[in-house]
Every structure is written in C-alpha cells, then in structure tokens.
Structure 1
Amino acid sequence: MTLRVERDEETGVAVVTLDREARHNAIDLETAAELSAVWREFRFAEEVRAVVLTGSGAAAFCTGIDRGVEVPQPASPYSADDPLIAIGPKAADLWKPVIAAVNGMACGGAFYLLGEAEFLIASTTATFFDPHTSYGMVSAYEAVYMAQRMPFGEAARMSLMGTAERLCAQRAYEIGLVSELTAPEELLPAALRAARTLAGFPTQAVQGTVRALWSAKQATLQQALAQAPALIALGNLPPERQADLFTNRSRTPRPRLR
C-alpha cells in the first residue's frame, strides 16, 4: 500500500496520506490506482463527510509522477494514456470537501490533486513549481489546473519557468493559491480543524455547495483539459531526451520570494 487512510467516525473526517516518503511521495501506478479507488470508496462511506489530503514526511507533499514509471503511448497525438488523469477526487465524482495540507515540495503532477481540492493550507516550508518545460515536456493538465486557481500571470510564470525557480509558501498565500499558512508542526492540526468544522455541518448542504462551486468553472476546465493530449503529444521531446535533461538537471533552483 502506498497510501495511509485514517478515519475518525466520531468527527466524520478521513485523512489520506501519500506514503512514499523515500520517493518524495511521487506517484507510481499503484499509488494512482489507490487514489482513484479511495475517492470512489468515499462516495459510499457515509461516515466520511470531509477529507484531509497530505504527504508523509516534511520534504514533500507530492513530486508528481514517479520518473521510473513507463507508460506506453499511442502514436496518435489525439489520444494519450495519462496515469494521473483519475487521481483527483472530482475525477471520481466525489463531492465531499477535500482540504489539501501541503508540506514541503508540491510540483508537477501534484497539481492534479491540488487542482481538485476545495482549498489549500500550507506549511511555511511549502514550495510550488512545475518542472515540465525544463525537461522538454508540455505542461498541459498541470497548467490548466493552476490557471483555475491562480492569477493567470502567476500560473504562466510557474508553468513556464520550470525548475529555474520555486513559488514560496508566502507568495502562494499572497496570490490566493493557499488560504492559510501555518508553522510545519501546525499544518495537520489546522487542516483537521477546518475539516471537522465542515464535517459537523449538514452533509447534503456541504456537498451541494461544493458541487455549486465547481459548476462555476467546470465547463471551462473540461474544455481546456480536452486539448491537453494533443498538445502533449505534439510538444514533448522524445522520452530519451527528457531523461537526459532530467539526469543533468540543476539542483539549485532560485526561490521566488516576491
């Protein structure tokens, strides 16, 4: 198992923890399948009324897809097999509120998860970045999700600047990506306080409000995501060139404080 799922039936809150600390909570095929399964399970779990999603350890919330995962792709640029496409709660038709507690790095494929959470609470040590362009890859799904949550210029800068810089927690809070900042040791307690509040309200009203909020942007989101497979197929470098760029990557990104 690559996830830890803890349920508190008394409060109605479940905590889902990405549990691959040694791999910076990167998502392999097993993790992707487990995430999809747990969201679908929560649809039928009446005792779960709110969810906190976080990562194990202090270094990373999630660093996207595990670079060791190989997914064969069809030749057509109009179809692609994306192992992360169904890892978020909305992809599983779950309309119970999900709060992301972001500890450490959140990058690349982590945005599939952050993009489908209701709101983010972050440790002051959290950083956000999108490495795709640095490795010759199109940031399509990730960029679309972040453009839905951030001012366009900020989403564009993060998507285009790759590994050259990281968005710090303070700046993420200032631009509205993060709704609350905490000390590292206060991150999970803060997320649990919010989740317990939501779980204590009438569940149909909460879920209806979640659905209403997402209906405001879902049509635009789906139209944008539909363009992603072709853009990725047309713009990505061959896998061997991506691997070469990744192997020779710089390990000294410049944090963007302001």
Structure 2
Amino acid sequence: MVDNPADDTADGDVRLDLSDHVATITIDRPSAHNALTVDMIRTLAAAIDSVRGDDEVRAVIVTGAGDKAFSAGGDLGELIPRLTAGELEVLIPDASKRFFSDVYKPIIAAVNGFCLAGGLEILLGTDLRIAADHATFGLPEVHWGVIPGGGSHVRLPQQLAWPQAMHLLLAAESIDAAEALRIGLINEVVAPDEVMPRARELAQKIAAHAPVAVQTAKEIAVKALGNEPRFNLETALNERVLATRDAREGPRAFIEKRQPRYEGK
C-alpha cells in the first residue's frame, strides 16, 4: 500500500451502512483518491469486525466514494515512514490475517476508478468484483522500493495465472478494466453509473439465499486455501524490505516527484 496520487491530507472516513441484509462499506476520501490514512485503516478494520458479527448482514459491498477511485492505497506520506520505522502493526495487526480473510459473508467490490496498491489488496479479499469501464488496476510498490505486503503475494497467484500475477507484482504496470476482466481479476465491466446498481443487484440476490449455506460454502473455500502460514511468511519478509534504505528512498522520490536512486541495500 503506497500509492497516494494527491497531496491533500484531509481526514477521510470509512462509512458503514446496512439495508435489506446488505452492508455497504465506503472508503470516503475522494479528494485523495480514497487513499487510506492509519485512522481509516483502523476504521475499516472496525467495520469488518462489525459485519462479521452482525447476523443481519448476509452480503457486503465495498466501494470508494466519488467516481474517480475505489482506493489508490495507503496514504504514502503518513503510512510509509511508520512502516519503515518498524510499525508494521499499523497496517497488519495480525500477521496471519489480511483484508477480509476471516469474513465468510460474501463480499462484492464495486470499483469506479483507480484500484491501486492497497486498494487492489482490498479487492483481492473480495469474492465478486464489478468495475467501471474506466477502472485501473495495479501494484506499483516495487517501483517505489517496497512491496505490496497486504496479501498480494499469496492471493494473486491463487486468483490469476502465474505469469499474470507476476506481471502485476514485478513489472508494476497498471492494467485497464478490459484486461482485468480478460485475466479473471474481475467479474464484470459496466458503465460507471451501473457499478453500484449491479453490485446491489448481486448482493440482494445472494442475501435472498439461505445464509448458513452461503456462508458455509465460502468458509470451506477460504479455509481450504490454508493461507494463514502464507500470510505470516509475507509479513516476515516484508519486514526485511522495509528495513532497507531503498524502502525509504522510493517513497521519498515519489513525494519529491523524481526517479528514485536505489542502492540495493
């Protein structure tokens, strides 16, 4: 989670709404492409805990406010200095968990714009994904001297073919919605004004099914992956990267709008 394309550091929010057994989690900081501050990450975690424990919730929609972004990841200026100082727990309080990894209620992503870095890592924790035709997906982390430590190294190779997963992880090139659909990263591409209606349609259809059966089906599929040891491995190796000088140089170069000068140390 590194990308923050705006200089605006205004406080954002994560909103949780419930209607007809469908919870909607909205990442709300459109002036900064819904980049997540530390406080927003904590609020998102609280929203996830809430939907997990609420029997009224049978399906979840995750989206970003506005029409330009789902989320462009973590707030670079705030998050990276804390991570490189050793505060990995601000992003990953439990090394064996990632976004939505222990939520067995179906989760639908409604993507209207940029879905980058940590935003893509949130997407990887969802089950069904509806995207606007102008949406963009990518993991730019390695270009800026860090890695996407929010589950990407585990989930991408499970969800995509190996070459496609490695292209996103290693080349740091973004792809458009049509390519994301072609490789199976998302389910559908629709017009921007149809993203939320289509997500709600799917959520309501799922919510009408027997909730114990639906949630058990997802629980079996998720637990069969056995990802907790893999997430622990990612966390341990991410700490090695964050301890390098390159991990400090890359974000500094991003903020200063210049090419980074890496040492390999």
Q: Is contact 2:59–2:105 with CA below 8 Å preserved after alignment?
A: yes
Q: TM-score, normalised by structure 2?
A: 0.83
Asked if 1:88 is matched to 2:93, the reply is no
1:158 corresponds to which of 147, 161, 168: 168
Q: Is contact 2:98–2:125 with CA below 8 Å preserved after alignment?
A: no
Runs of 4+ in 1 over 3 A off after TM superposition: 72-75, 84-87
User: Which residue does 1:4 correspond to in 2?
Assistant: 15
How far, CA to CA, are the matches of 1:116 and 1:248 in structure 2?
31
User: Which residue does 1:16 correspond to in 2?
Assistant: 25
- How many Å apart are 1:81 and its aligned residue? 2.8
- Count how many residue pairs are aligned between Structure 1 and Structure 2: 239
Q: Is contact 2:145–2:251 with CA below 8 Å preserved after alignment?
A: no
Q: TM-score, normalised by structure 1?
A: 0.85
Deviations, residues 3-44 of structure 1 (Å, cap 9, x unaligned): 122211xx2111111001111111111111111111111123
Unaligned runs of 5+ in 1: 251-258
Q: Is contact 1:120–1:178 with CA below 8 Å preserved after alignment?
A: yes
User: Which residue does 1:233 correspond to in 2?
Assistant: 239
Deviations, residues 109-157 of structure 1 (Å, cap 9, x unaligned): 1233112111211111111111111111133432322222211111101
What aligned pairs does 1:108-257 form with structure 2 within 5 A after superposition? 108-140=117-149, 141-162=151-172, 165-217=173-225, 219=226, 221-236=227-242, 237-238=244-245, 239-246=247-254, 247-249=256-258
Fraction of identical pairs, as percent: 29
What amino acid does structure 2 have at the position aligned with 1:81? E
- How many Å apart are 1:197 and its aligned residue? 0.4
Q: Is contact 2:130–2:188 with CA below 8 Å preserved after alignment?
A: yes
Please tell me the root mean square deviation across aligned C-alpha atoms, in Å. Answer: 2.1
- How many Å apart are 1:170 and its aligned residue? 0.5
What amino acid does structure 2 have at the position aligned with 1:56? A
Asked if 1:64 is matched to 2:70, the reply is no
How far, CA to CA, are the matches of 1:101 and 1:249 in structure 2?
33
User: Which residue does 1:254 correspond to in 2?
Assistant: none
Change (3 A) 1:216 1:104: same
